[in-house]
Amino acid sequence: AQSVTQPDIHITVSEGASLELRCNYSYGATPYLFWYVQSPGQGLQLLLKYFSGDTLVQGIKGFEAEFKRSQSSFNLRKPSVHWSDAAEYFCAVGGIGGFKTIFGAGTRLFVKA
């Protein structure tokens, strides 16, 4: 069965510091991987996605993620965090043909001044 694990429930980083959010997945076929961000009371915003090709993908707002098949991981990174990045981050895995997208539990990011 497919699943997504985000081991960190919450993370606190200082503004300007680097960030890495972890994500591990379990999927029986070629995974399609996503990172979404959600601000309180808001919908989801897609940060980036990986379907195939270059395993380092660039997204919006300065985020990037690296797909590592051998580790079943898709960690999200940002070199310098801004206070506006404070939000909930969800890693998700899906498949082609309208196969359902499954979400991890989420990681809440706090940014301190």
Partner 1 sequence: GAVVSQHPSRVICKSGTSVKIECRSLDFQATTMFWYRQFPKQSLMLMATSNEGSKATYEQGVEKDKFLINHASLTLSTLTVTSAHPEDSSFYICSASGEGEAEAFFGQGTRLTVV
Binding mask 56-95 for partner 1 (x = CB under 8 A): ----------------------------------x---xx
Among 96, 110, 111, 113, which residue sits at the site for partner 1 (rule: CB under 8 A)? 96
Among 74, 104, 109, 111, which residue sits at the site for partner 1 (rule: CB under 8 A)? 104
The label of the residue with tokens 């069965």 reads 1
Radius of gyration of the chain (CA): 13
46 binds partner 1 (CB under 8 A): yes
Residue numbers 3-42 binding partner 1 by CB under 8 A: 32, 34, 36, 41-42
The Cα–Cα gap between 32 and 61 comes to: 21
The Cα–Cα gap between 15 and 3 comes to: 32
Let me know: does 39 contact 51? Beta carbons within 8 Å: no
